[in-house]
Amino acid sequence: MIHAHVHRKRKGERVMSQLLTRVQRVSDQQLPQTIDGLFPESIARQYGLRGSQTYEIVYGLTRTRMTLAPGTTSLTLKESAARPLHLAFGMAKLGLRFEPGEKRFVIGPLVGVLIAGMSPGPEGPFGNITDFCREVSQTCRTRGGIGFVYTLSEVSAETNKLEGWTYRDGRWVKQLFPLPYCSYNRIGSRRIERKEETQTRLSILKQKGGLFFNEQFLDKWLIHQKLAVNSDASHLLPHTTLYTGASALQAMLTRHSYVYVKPSSGSLGRGIIRIAWKNNEYICQYETINGAATRHFRTFAALHQMLRPRLAKHSYLIQQGLHLIRSHGGLLDFRALVQKDRTGKWAITSIVGRTGTRQSIVSNVARGGTMLPLVRALATSTLPTSMHATVASTIRRQALTVAHLFEQSMGGHYAELGIDIAVERTGRVWLLEVNSKPSKTNDAVASTTSGPRPSVVRIVDYCFYRNGFTVLPRKKKSTASKRSIQKRRTSQ
């Protein structure tokens, strides 16, 4: 197993912040036979390093030993010495950190976005997350790292290198990389992620070391069970049971005026059914490709006879229907994007209100809904104005609470969560679900942004932090810039 090293400062030890430097490759004949390369004079002066010495060089999950001497303003390596690292030369400056205690140079960091496979089309080589991947690559590069995209098929037990795509000079460039220190799981299909072959490759990747997140797609019923036993979260959860047959559904309809039946492993509002008992009949609504469909049944037996074939295919849960606030006639709920920040702590990146169409039984944007920032969404809602500030504060607080409790309850590593929150007409706040693969498509962005979306910046910040690289404080912005940033905070 290869373990990437994250430096922890020892008492009395000096640890420099990384510097940005060029990494150059020269022919073996251009440097003395006794050394493999040269490192920046500034590091030699700071630590009193003289003459040639043996150092460990780390790039991603690849490490090697080289004889280096001070002598340039860059990291200059012989071709023969650089080859095992699979370094991308001719790029922008890279981060370089020296760890004097271990006599180690760390280059990077190297951040990989893992996808199931190529999806070439009008949107680009990676389908609807192409723009997101480009922003990750560009943001890494501006900070001294390298961000690239790689597919499951590249992961192998036999090698610690892989082919990936990085965005450079306005185009995607395919090249060889070492295994990255950080691998961000953006496999977009539950079916593919569940496959035995996929799980085998993910297991290989984890065994090789480094940081792997987000662990996997989530099961709604499992999350409910984990949170229901915690007193800090249980009061946020609507009454929910697992569908086990007709009696379970009938019991919920006896207790509640209406319920939602949801696939336990569903997403994007797919497969959701709304059932209500009203005017002595059951009203069943569900989404189709042509919009919401409504059917009426005089008896429960007739209702269940229609539902049974559908509910037999997958695991479903039954959730208490809530009397949600509305906006422009459509149901309104909220998606909080909560991510690990540059210090490794959970932080809110954005909260948006999602409004469904008047006829829709869900608010998902994928089902035709629209989005607004939290405060603006509340301003357009049926919630009394006097409650807006309190409810907004509660949503923010509970989103962070849920993220912390989720992390305590679940195995695996997660660095971002999409937390869906509902507000009833009384102002009561409820947790609807937790999503480990929040959308990265362009239609998930609530406003047009210039530069990388805030969620990309936070992901890169976190990867740099976990790899031991400092993210330098950003320069103070002008008033105009601050207004621009405020706009961008609504994007995901």
CATH number at residue 187: 3.40.50
Q: Is residue 1 part of a domain?
A: no
**Is residue 318 a contact partner of residue 240, using CB atoms and an 8 Å limit?**
yes
Q: Which residue has the tokens 């049971």?
A: 241
Residue 320 confidence (pLDDT): 95
Q: Is residue 230 part of a domain?
A: no
CA atoms within 13 A on the CB side of 485: 11
Is residue 135 over pLDDT 60? yes
| Per-residue pLDDT tens over the stretch 366-390 | 555 688 999 999 999 999 999 999 9
Q: Is residue 132 part of a domain?
A: yes
Q: What is the CATH number of the domain that holds 460?
A: 3.30.470.20
Q: Is residue 220 part of a domain?
A: no
- Statement to judge: residues 243 and 256 lie in one domain: yes
CA dihedral 37, 43, 45, 50 (to 10 degrees): -30
Q: Is residue 471 part of a domain?
A: yes
Q: What is the CATH number of the domain that holds 69?
A: 2.40.40.20
- Statement to judge: residues 59 and 192 lie in one domain: no
Q: Which helix (H) or strand (E) holds 200?
A: helix 196-207
How far is 41 from 476, CA to CA, in rounded Å? 31
Given 275, 292, 320, the domain boundary residue is: 320
- Statement to judge: residues 451 and 345 lie in one domain: yes
- Compute φ and ψ for 471, nearest 5 degrees: -95, 110
| Per-residue pLDDT tens over the stretch 287-310 | 877 777 899 999 999 999 999 998
Given 320, 349, 365, the domain boundary residue is: 320
- Statement to judge: residues 153 and 295 lie in one domain: no
Tokens of 429: 């706040």
Residue 87 confidence (pLDDT): 84
- Statement to judge: residues 333 and 396 lie in one domain: yes
- Statement to judge: residues 288 and 353 lie in one domain: no
What type of residue sits at position 83?
R
Q: Give SS3 for 103.
A: coil
**How many domains are there within the chain?**
4
Residue 378 confidence (pLDDT): 96
Note the pTM of the prediction, 2 decimals: 0.87
- Statement to judge: residues 471 and 361 lie in one domain: yes
**Strand order in 258-263's β-sheet?**
240-242, 316-320, 258-263, 273-278, 281-288, 291-297
Q: Is residue 128 part of a domain?
A: yes
| Per-residue pLDDT tens over the stretch 190-199 | 999 999 999 9
- Statement to judge: residues 139 and 179 lie in one domain: yes
Band of pLDDT at residue 364, cut at 50, 70 and 90: low
Average confidence score pLDDT of the chain: 87
- Burial group, residue 123, by CB count within 10 angstroms (0-12, 13-18, 19+): middle
Given 270, 302, 320, the domain boundary residue is: 320
| Per-residue pLDDT tens over the stretch 469-483 | 986 544 444 444 444
- Statement to judge: residues 99 and 131 lie in one domain: no
- Statement to judge: residues 103 and 116 lie in one domain: no
- Statement to judge: residues 354 and 430 lie in one domain: yes
**Is residue 440 a contact partner of residue 135, using CB atoms and an 8 Å limit?**
no
How far is 459 from 455, CA to CA, in rounded Å? 6
Q: Is residue 104 part of a domain?
A: yes
DSSP 124: B
Q: Is residue 274 part of a domain?
A: yes
CA atoms within 13 A on the CB side of 87: 33
Cα dist from 170 to 36, 143, 173, 395, whole Å: 33, 18, 9, 40
Band of pLDDT at residue 183, cut at 50, 70 and 90: very high
- Statement to judge: residues 200 and 142 lie in one domain: yes
Is residue 17 over pLDDT 60? no
How far is 185 from 217, CA to CA, in rounded Å? 10
| Per-residue pLDDT tens over the stretch 27-81 | 999 999 999 999 999 999 999 999 999 999 999 999 999 999 999 889 999 999 9
Band of pLDDT at residue 450, cut at 50, 70 and 90: confident
Nearest to 362 by CA among 294, 272, 300, 227: 272
Provide the domain limits for residue 46. 19-108
Residue 456 confidence (pLDDT): 96
